[in-house]
Amino acid sequence: MALSPMMSKYLETKKEYPDCILFYRLGDFYEMFFEDATEVARELELTLTGKDCGLEERAPMCGVPYHAAETYINRLVQNGHKVAIAEQMEDPKLAKGLVKREVVRIVTPGTITSTGVLADDKNNYIISIFYIDERFGLAICDISTGDFFVTELVSIRELFDEIQKYQPTEIICNHAFEISGISLEELKKKYNITITSLDNTYFSEKNSIDILKRHFAVSSIEALGLSEFLDATISSGAMLRYLYEMQKSSCAQIVGISAYKNGDYMIVDTSSRRNLELVETMREKKKNGSLLGVLDKTNTAMGARMLRGFLEQPLVNKERIINRQEAVAELFDRYIDREELREYLNPIYDLERLMSRVVTKNANTRDLLSLSASMKMISPIKEVLKTFESEEIKKTNNNLDRLEDIIDIIDRAINEDSPLSLKEGNIINTGYNNEIDKLRQAKTEGKNWLASLESEEKEKTGIKNLKVKFNKVFGYYFEVTNSFKDMVPDYFIRKQTLTNAERYTTDKLKDLENIILGAEDKLNSLEYEVFVEIRDEIAKNVNRIQSSAKAVAYIDAICSLATVAYNNNYVKPEINTTGIIDIKDGRHPVVETMLSDDSFIANDTYLDQNKKRMSIITGPNMAGKSTYMRQTALICMMAQIGSFVPAKQANLCVCDRIFTRVGASDDLASGQSTFMVEMT
């Protein structure tokens, strides 16, 4: 026995993607067969059935409705799977023979763009590693926001520090890294990430340079600032090629690339980052109880991610620190303007991720309406900011584009009450497209014709309860109850017999059905085509929209810092480069917020490069030694992200590194010291 044509085509496609679970579109369902079906049914607790495939035994099969597929795909990806999605590329009604199907995207942990599964306040990074001669070239990308960075490292410790900082969900690497002696299994377990070793052709210097020049439309990598980053250039070329293949798109949401050296930001190693509880607590891995939990009063997802980025990479350039600090200070001083800005920021959706969905052709009408609603807030934000004096805010305001032309297209075209499905019609406003308006009129007139035919047949036959009805299986039909079926004329053609009624059609009803259903199919198809044109037009403006999104995020992040400083009685620190740390009445920013009253005891700290380079902290158990030491580190970090600090007065030097392993067992947010935790 031979496989059926459909199953042969399925297996042919599956052979191209052996490491993926294949979601194969069949009508209103995505179906899986053979080993994929068995595995998915077990993991997602779906019913495992069988399908005739031309062999003696039925093929194991399970399926999910296409409109709910994202939920199931996301669950599989979160479990570490790759999912290939094969769509129908032609209308089954018009297909001659087997419907053409193609894989349109591959979803992996690092390339997922569904807003339902991604954390709003955290980036979803994928890292590409090119290892050669004890060096590491890194490319770091969040495809859902378009963020793209590169750097180069010279030790495994530095590599692990970067992985801890970015917390990627996926890593791709060259074969040399796979056999370097670093345990990939240990990496997978420790950081809960998917790791894929790629063919060396991905990491070709020439191919990578060509890909980068083509993607960013430049004549040389020098124009991208990558002349000193050859290893990272190779890694970033591999990254882009991999993303193209997964997304089956140009990844136009990646509009820029930035390179940094390890010393461009404060170096905080993995242990220190964890012990200081910068973005999450050590014990429960929660944001609440961390420094980020205190500082994050952002109103947008973009602002929350940017603020997290500030904490992950504190500045070490005095001028940059002071510029950001001045922006925070101006917002701190202008309470009314700050609150007005926060009011305008609050309704803004995640512009970065919405644009990613637009560019990858996954956006629906709701996404475009959310874009429009968000972009409308930019004009009032610009009006508030135009009177500000700080250089950072003026520069940011200049980067804000009102995007009024994009708003106009969306508002004129997209129906506010459109359904989620893009192919069921009613998504384009009346008046936007003449052809759509004509087809709508034909559809409306058709319903009037049906009502007229129903009245006409009632009068001719005398059947008072005769009704014209419709369903997807039989189309339009006359329904006559059994009590009147003896009055049915000869020209009525029986379609279906029910328990209490009979269903009929006539030649005239068939003609009307062809006109009405033809108009409806054409209308739905045309509306979808017009929507795709609008979406593609918006995608052409990705640079403008992403630039404005970054500007909105920056304003939101510094507004948050100003709000926290105002509410928590922080002060603006002086910044020096003479090695002095002078804190008067310093407080631990997290611990003080966890206390129900004002019972935190403030402390002074003084260190310099001459007479007092070191302090030895002594005291009994639970006296606050860990709190005091970490308090000093956190105050320095806060100053270097441009924030005000919890103190009466502070004069702080720029620190290039922070090291700490103190308090590795305590739980300050819950008031439990190292001693208390170890004893219990």
**DSSP readout, 121-167?**
TS---EEEEEEETTEEEEEEEETTTTEEEEEEESSHHHHHHHHHHH-
* Phi and psi torsions of 468, nearest 5°: -90, 125
DSSP 8-state class, residue 620:
-
pLDDT of residue 679: 47
pTM higher than 0.85: yes
Q: Name the helix (H) or strand (E) containing 43.
A: helix 34-44
Q: What is the DSSP string of 76-87?
A: HHHTT-EEEEEE
Domains (range + CATH), the chain? 5-107 (3.40.1170.10), 126-262 (3.30.420.110), 282-402+540-566 (1.10.1420.10), 434-535 (1.10.1420.10), 567-679 (3.40.50.300)
- Residues with pLDDT less than 70, the chain: 1, 663-680
Tell whether the torsion through CA atoms of 108, 111, 114 and 116 is positive or negative: positive
- Residues, the chain, total? 680
* Total Cβ atoms within 10 A of residue 314: 24
In the chain, % helix, strand, coil (3-state, to 5) comes to 45, 20, 35
| Residue 111 β-bridge partners | none
Interatomic CA distance for residues 406 and 527, integer angstroms:
19
| Residue 64 β-bridge partners | 30
Interatomic CA distance for residues 380 and 220, integer angstroms:
40
pLDDT of residue 72: 94
